[in-house]
Structure 1
Amino acid sequence: MTVRSTLRQPAALARVLLVVAVLGLVGLGLSRAEIDTGISSFVPNDDDSYAATEQRDQDFGADPIVVLLHGSGKDGLLIDGEQLRRLVGLEGELAQLPDVAVVYGPGTVLNQTAKSVRNVILQISGARDSIENSARAQAKAEGLSGAARAKRVDAAVAEFDERYGALVAQAMPMGLPSLSNSKFVASVLFGDDGEPRSEWRFLAPTAKSATLLIRPRAGLDQAGTRQLVGRVTETVDAAGLETRDPVVTGLPVVTSAVAERATDEAPRLGLLAIGAVAAVLFLMPWTRRRRDRLRPLVVVALGTATTLALFGALGRPMSLGVIAFLPIVLGIGSDFPIYLARGTSRRTVLSAAAGAALAFACLALSPLPFVREFGLALALGVVCTLAWGLVLLGWLRGADTDLDMDADVDGDDRGRAGADQRDAAPPRSRPSRRLTAGLCLAAAVAAVAGWIALPSLSIESRADRLAAGLPELEDARTAEQTLGFASEITVVVRGKSVLTPEVLAWAAEAESVLLTRHADVLRPLLTMNRLLEFLGATPTQTEIEAGSALLPSYLLEAVIGDGGEVGALTFGLAVDDVAEQRRLVEEIRAELPAAPKGTTVELVGLPVIAGSGLDAVNASRWTIGVVGIALAAIAVGVGLRSRRMGLLVACSAVLAAGWVYLAILLSGANLNPLTMAVAALVTVTACEFTVMLGHPHAQGRRLQRAVIVAVSAATLGYLALTLSDLAVIRSFGWVLAGGVLASCVASWLVTTAAAVLWPSSQRTGAAEAVGTGERAMEKKKHDEREVVPCS
């Protein structure tokens, strides 16, 4: 027992307790971590179109879950009375599910129509009798009799019969308005050719099939959406309908599938990345004792877990970026513990980490929420990993038996000098100035070509390609082929009252204009003028009020919301390319007739938001990368007190990013929302490698070997992403793996060129003084730990 060791026991115990407490908090946060791939994370949510679409969802329900039912019986689902009753029952059960705003289907439409027709006939008959009785009583009061009285009565009901008699006559051949009456069903849904009428084709694609649209309530989160999709599937399967292979699809189903795949893939890809990084650390001889080579992995695992725990503790669900987050943090985060273990000065490591974190954080400039969150999570991951590395610095440096700790004890640094001499590599033969200049010129030309090509690189705008790899996409394509549309777009009119002759006339004109000019891509679904067209071409205000009162609320509320202050014209859109959707949206906005006085008109829906998002992403092509490079260079320059090193970092990042852009161009690949920010992500590794290769001890095998290990770990960590089932993540992994190699080559070239073409007699960024200061601190700590025998 020694005095100083005894004095150190409480401090050591406190440190252990602190680590245990932090790990407990990490575990608690991890238990609350969630993944959210709701559509709101993929589109700009600060755009006016997003707010307008949210309001549309409040009024009429969100984008629907689509159920395709193909009848396998002789008469299908609509003419067969038993199957139709079961269909109506299914629609009723779906409407009662939690988080469902409304359900539209042919069964409920027929049922409500039957009730309405009966009510209309009864009201028409009652109104006609009332008019006839009033005219007869008035004629009698005037003393008319016989033919004169009959003529007065006929004249009184003639105008009424002219307007409403056709409705009664039309209803008579179809018989009793009832679901059991096949003539009634056929007259409502089918035309003379036996095929579904155009206005109902979105609910009855064929004579034997049916489509159900289940609109979730507005603002339903991803977990709720996933549960709703499961309940809908279970309810459809238990309905007892004679169908073949029911299809449950739609935007909520696809996003739910992405969320489920993200939840499954995140730990799998994370484990693959851990295995790859562990293999690199264990197999590459960066230390002499194999059993100590995995210590940096422990540190990065703690940093990653802490980052996820912080998101959980704050109640912030992580979006799709969590899939890419784990391998990237494991690959890049392991670099800094390696450098610390190799005895690199803390200022050097802190400066490189600051540049990396700022480059990651620049993704917060993206207009897409999931990219912003992804960047902030990566920056936080680097910070947490570095913090754990500093907390466990002594244990971490114990892994490097090559590191002579006497270097931190001897005041004259003879131990450090001896270690450097033992570990020094033979002097590296540098290329000639001419050869170096030539290499730099060729590298700069290639990089400039890549940056010039950046504006011309196409952005992948087909959602099905970004989510390629999901079997649910096949169901979505089936629905698109069957229904003739892939998404919805809604023209919303708002005013004090939209049930007026002026607004109905405008709605009819707007629909006519849009269908005339875009009949190939627009499919009318539910529109206010189609629902009220039975009133005629020029109904009066009184007739509109009376006619709308006759309609069942189920149908009226599909196009009239907020107490009559909002009207909707919803069209199916047969275009699933965001760039084409954006052009179509602009054309529709230009072609819509002027809004009636006292009203406003908005074009809303996911295609509108996605178009705005594409514009915003296009506008950020340069911003994120340039700002990331600048901030990383400034962080390194300030941290190392060296403008020279800051400039070298900027040059390395510019070269590496340019080469990656050029490679994307030559490969014929497209950019996606993640690879758009490749310049900022490449800056992370370019910053790190440049600082380390430009370190004053970079001639030694110690730091060179650490950089090689870091390059290998980062590359394999990124390559783990290429095993994802989602195309957007796979392509991201390939680009980043290439970016690591490009940044390594760029860093080597820049530091070599600086040594040859821009020699400096001073050591980089006062790093030597920093190293001496740190060694003095270590000496002081060592002295405090000296064994002093008890008296």
Structure 2
Amino acid sequence: MGIASGVAGGLLQVRTDTSVESFLPAGDPAVLALEEAARSFGGDPLVVIVESATEPDMEQGVLAPAQLPQLLRVEGELSRLPDVAAVYGPATVLNQIAASAQNMLASLSGRRDATRHRAEKAARERGAAKEEITAAGDAAVEEFDDRYGRLLVRGLPAGLPTLRNPAFVKQVIFDDNGEPKSRWDFVVPRKDTVSILIRPRAGLDQAGTERLVADVRATLANASLATRRTTVTGVPVVTAALGTQVRQEILLVGGIALAAIAASYLAVPWTRRRWRRLLPLMATLAATALVLSGFGWLGWPLSLGVIAFLPILLGIASDFPAYLLNAVSIRRVVVVALASAAAFASLAFSPLPFVGDLGLALAAGQLLALLAAVWYVRWRRKGGVDTDHDRRPGDGESHGARGDEGAAAEHVPDPGRGSGGHGMVARGVALALLSAVAAVGWLSFDRMTIEANPIRLAEGMPETDDIRHAERVLGASGELQLLVRGDVATPEALRWMKEAERALVVEHGDDLQPILTPRGLLDFLGTEPNQSQIDAGLRLLPEYLTHAVVRGDRRQAAMNFRLAVQDLADQKQLIEQVRAELPATPEGLDVEVVGLSVAASRAYELMSADRYLTSMAGLAGAGLVLLVGLSRRTDAVRAIFAAVLAVGWGLACAWALGVTLTPLTIVLGSLTTAIACEYSALFGGVNVRSAGRLRRTVCVAALSAALGYLSLLLSGLAVLREFGAMLAGAVALSFLAAIILNRLLPGRTATSGSAEFAERRSPHGHVSMTGS
């Protein structure tokens, strides 16, 4: 009862995490730089795109006087939401500029009054008459008006700076051609469209992101804006939707996988008593619950791989209890299960956290299911009940012990073997051809394309359509930053930022669009502002705007560029070119290219470079366990060879069909290794008198695994559907490799008298099989 309560308590604490961090290499410098930028300027933004309901004009559009106050209220409500670091929208920008202009007017008015007062006081102290005192004040004010009046006329030709003055709005936002000025492109990308950037606080977790997205949608739903379409998009929106999708599908896909596997175990007569056919699945369910509960107690969130985890674990981990219930050697089953767990654990070498989590969870589940099955078998035997007492006559059942545990293995001719030299030549040719196909697959692995576009992970959800709409409206939907460190508010620093921005726009104007930079914000100061002008400009502009690009201590600045979501291979090349083309920084300054796009490109780079690592690590781990654990090294070598063939055939098929790899399918090598080693090791060590029964068990194991993986075809995520189909194919190829090698490379088949399959009589007279 205590164990059940502990498991339930852990399950209640399980949480999912499909945030960006679960797809990026933890601790990598690119990720650390992204986190640093988020602490200074906020995280990757949610983007709200508001499109006017009518043709754009200053009387009826979103920026019309009747709409701007409502838009300002919406932006204010968004800025007050929990976990929001900053909100940048057109109404707030205009309001802040208007307030600054009004403050400037008030300041000038005060200075004008002070000038009159000083002039009149000086005249009074000289003993001037009343008329002379008034004349002195008028003269001083006339000089002040002559100096600043023309400046005000040029600077405020549209009249009073208020949101209800359409001339003021037009003067600030639009150029002489009626198009939005480039400096405000980040909030007014088109005449009929405005955008609001909502930057979340740094370190926001999955639950917080989902809550923030929901709050943003609710706020917009209650707004009274005349729009034809309002879109909430951005990477945080996609990851929030992905988390919701995971929680919705985990029960659906897991339940269907469970039903399919249970049906296969019940339908195939691998053991006589029907109720016992569900025992392997019960052991696996217990193991699954323990693993998930462990994640909950450890506070370890489950990522995208959790959906794939359930069918894989249910399909593979249930095999080994079935083998034990069918009186297969405990030693052999344990060794093969450990080899599979080693192959799974090799996924921890993946640079992507969610892939590593998947591997470790599978290894833990495999071992727990095995422990449950071994405990059950030992308990049955301790009670004097043979686990295989219901074998059918003709399956090789013996009612008397033959030989002893030390008897040698007996060579049994394989009916599939050819006779004489012709048979050996035929087998050699067949092995050479099959090996050649596998070699083609292994060699093509390095040349296969990896589809690493982040949107592919969420393909199938409506949020991906919103991302594409944002690209059409804004010209991009991602962001790239240049993080400048040092004294960033100096003439030298601004000069360098200007040169860097010009260099990037000239070379990559189609891919990079500056949206908010210190130089763009201060361009009203002219081409070569001095230090005092820069200081005055930063004081004049509202902190709301300056803090978006210059940190309060002026030791860090961010140059923000729009970047379209694209294949990470192309994106990686673009980022490398940006780094190479940036001009040399002045002394005391350093610059780093940061952003989600940079971190994602880094993950792609690591994944591409290490594509062989996880597969080879899986082969090495499983092979080492088999070589050490199995009493016959030939069985271990045959199992490793089967895994090499199965993985190679799968890669050859994918290459021939033009299948692109994803962050999930690239690790199929380790999973295929686990499956192929299992089938081959069991076929190769089968007891000659129980061959039919055991092979039926292996067949039902393969069938149940394939059905479990095919349940992923019901996922709403394209990446998981593809993964499920390829996993099912891996089962078929692994089974085929095991069968073929068992025929072409027959070893010494164990008999009832062999050391590994020695029989002993139970206290009740039943014959049971023990491991050596």
- TM-score, with structure 2 as normaliser: 0.90
CA 1:180 to 1:402, structure 2 compared with 1: closer, same or farther past 3 Å?
same
Q: Retained in 2: the 8 A contact 1:489–1:572?
A: yes
Matches within 5 A, 1:734-773: 734-755=725-746, 759-760=747-748, 763=750, 768-772=754-758
2:439 maps to 1:453? no
Structure-2 separation of matches of 1:256 and 1:702: 49
2:484 maps to 1:498? no
What is the CA RMSD across the aligned residues, in angstroms? Answer: 3.3
Match among 231, 245, 256 for residue 240 of structure 2 = 256
Structure 2 equivalent of residue 305 of structure 1: 289
Structure-2 separation of matches of 1:166 and 1:381: 79
Match among 595, 604, 607 for residue 605 of structure 1 = 595
How big is each residue's C-alpha offset from its partner over 1:135-180, in whole Å with a ceiling of 9 and x where there is no partner?
99999999xx9xxx99x9899989x95xx77752233321100011
Structure 2 equivalent of residue 651 of structure 1: 641
Shift of 1:79: 3.7
Q: Retained in 2: the 8 A contact 1:579–1:614?
A: yes
Match among 390, 409, 413 for residue 401 of structure 1 = 390
Q: Retained in 1: the 8 A contact 2:50–2:230?
A: yes
Structure-2 separation of matches of 1:400 and 1:454: 48
How big is each residue's C-alpha offset from its partner over 1:183-206, in whole Å with a ceiling of 9 and x where there is no partner?
101111112222222221231233
Structure-2 separation of matches of 1:744 and 1:79: 66
2:41 maps to 1:60? yes
Answer 1 or 2: which has greater helix percent: 1
Structure 1 equivalent of residue 531 of structure 2: 541
Q: Retained in 2: the 8 A contact 1:408–1:779?
A: no
How big is each residue's C-alpha offset from its partner over 1:6-31, in whole Å with a ceiling of 9 and x where there is no partner?
xxxxxxxxxxxxxx432332222111
CA 1:172 to 1:708, structure 2 compared with 1: closer, same or farther past 3 Å?
closer
CA 1:525 to 1:297, structure 2 compared with 1: closer, same or farther past 3 Å?
same
Match among 240, 244, 265 for residue 281 of structure 1 = 265
How big is each residue's C-alpha offset from its partner over 1:409-431, in whole Å with a ceiling of 9 and x where there is no partner?
98835899xxxxxxxx9974334
Q: Retained in 2: the 8 A contact 1:64–1:251?
A: yes
Structure 2 equivalent of residue 483 of structure 1: 474
CA 1:781 to 1:58, structure 2 compared with 1: closer, same or farther past 3 Å?
farther
2:716 maps to 1:725? yes
Q: Retained in 2: the 8 A contact 1:696–1:767?
A: no
Structure 1 equivalent of residue 416 of structure 2: 429
Match among 243, 265, 273 for residue 249 of structure 2 = 265
Shift of 1:259: 0.8
Structure-2 separation of matches of 1:463 and 1:302: 34
Shift of 1:526: 1.1
Structure-1 separation of matches of 2:140 and 2:634: 104
2:299 maps to 1:322? no
How big is each residue's C-alpha offset from its partner over 1:224-279, in whole Å with a ceiling of 9 and x where there is no partner?
10011001100100012122232111111111111111111111111111111111
Shift of 1:746: 1.1
User: Amino acid of the residue matched to residue 19 of structure 2?
Assistant: G
How big is each residue's C-alpha offset from its partner over 1:23-59, in whole Å with a ceiling of 9 and x where there is no partner?
3322221111111101001111221111011010011
Structure-2 separation of matches of 1:489 and 1:110: 25
Matches within 5 A, 1:510-589: 510-589=500-579
User: Amino acid of the residue matched to residue 475 of structure 1?
Assistant: D
Match among 30, 39, 59 for residue 11 of structure 2 = 30
SS at match of 1:179: coil
Shift of 1:118: 1.7
Q: Retained in 1: the 8 A contact 2:89–2:196?
A: yes
Structure 2 equivalent of residue 49 of structure 1: 30
Structure-2 separation of matches of 1:92 and 1:771: 76
Q: Retained in 2: the 8 A contact 1:293–1:399?
A: no
User: Amino acid of the residue matched to residue 27 of structure 2?
Assistant: D
2:365 maps to 1:381? yes
Structure-2 separation of matches of 1:309 and 1:575: 37
Which one is further off, 600-609 or 120-129? 120-129
SS at match of 1:524: strand
User: Amino acid of the residue matched to residue 627 of structure 1?
Assistant: A
Structure-2 separation of matches of 1:167 and 1:584: 44
Shift of 1:222: 0.5
Matches within 5 A, 1:115-154: 115-124=99-108
Structure-2 separation of matches of 1:177 and 1:82: 16
Shift of 1:544: 1.4
Shift of 1:207: 2.7
How big is each residue's C-alpha offset from its partner over 1:308-367, in whole Å with a ceiling of 9 and x where there is no partner?
111111111110000100000011111111101110011000011001000000000000
SS at match of 1:294: helix
Structure-2 separation of matches of 1:754 and 1:82: 84
Structure-2 separation of matches of 1:139 and 1:47: 72
CA 1:344 to 1:536, structure 2 compared with 1: closer, same or farther past 3 Å?
same
How big is each residue's C-alpha offset from its partner over 1:547-588, in whole Å with a ceiling of 9 and x where there is no partner?
211211111110011521111110101242211111111111
CA 1:81 to 1:399, structure 2 compared with 1: closer, same or farther past 3 Å?
farther
Structure 2 equivalent of residue 677 of structure 1: 667
Shift of 1:220: 0.4
CA 1:552 to 1:782, structure 2 compared with 1: closer, same or farther past 3 Å?
farther
Shift of 1:749: 1.9
CA 1:771 to 1:562, structure 2 compared with 1: closer, same or farther past 3 Å?
farther
CA 1:175 to 1:389, structure 2 compared with 1: closer, same or farther past 3 Å?
same
SS at match of 2:559: strand
SS at match of 1:177: coil
Match among 607, 611, 614 for residue 617 of structure 1 = 607
Structure 2 equivalent of residue 420 of structure 1: none
Shift of 1:301: 1.1
User: Amino acid of the residue matched to residue 110 of structure 1?
Assistant: L
Shift of 1:302: 1.0
Structure 1 equivalent of residue 179 of structure 2: 195
Gaps of 5+ in 1: 1-19, 417-424, 784-791
Shift of 1:645: 2.1
Structure-2 separation of matches of 1:678 and 1:722: 17
Structure-2 separation of matches of 1:121 and 1:243: 35
CA 1:86 to 1:156, structure 2 compared with 1: closer, same or farther past 3 Å?
closer
Q: Retained in 2: the 8 A contact 1:525–1:572?
A: yes
CA 1:400 to 1:321, structure 2 compared with 1: closer, same or farther past 3 Å?
farther
Structure-1 separation of matches of 2:475 and 2:305: 33
Gaps of 5+ in 2: 127-131, 406-411, 767-772
How big is each residue's C-alpha offset from its partner over 1:488-540, in whole Å with a ceiling of 9 and x where there is no partner?
00111111x31111111111111111112111111111100111112222222
CA 1:439 to 1:189, structure 2 compared with 1: closer, same or farther past 3 Å?
same
Structure 2 equivalent of residue 204 of structure 1: 188
Q: Retained in 2: the 8 A contact 1:131–1:156?
A: no
Task: Give % identity.
Answer: 41
Which one is further off, 95-104 or 62-71? 62-71
- TM-score, with structure 1 as normaliser: 0.88
Structure-1 separation of matches of 2:705 and 2:679: 11
Match among 330, 335, 339 for residue 351 of structure 1 = 335
Structure 2 equivalent of residue 663 of structure 1: 653
Structure-2 separation of matches of 1:427 and 1:667: 36
Structure-2 separation of matches of 1:153 and 1:593: 50
Q: Retained in 1: the 8 A contact 2:326–2:387?
A: no
Structure-2 separation of matches of 1:547 and 1:130: 24
How big is each residue's C-alpha offset from its partner over 1:450-479, in whole Å with a ceiling of 9 and x where there is no partner?
111111100002222332111111111111
Structure-2 separation of matches of 1:189 and 1:183: 10
Structure-1 separation of matches of 2:174 and 2:80: 29
Number of positions where the alignment pairs a residue of Structure 1 with one of Structure 2: 743
Which one is further off, 658-667 or 527-536? 527-536
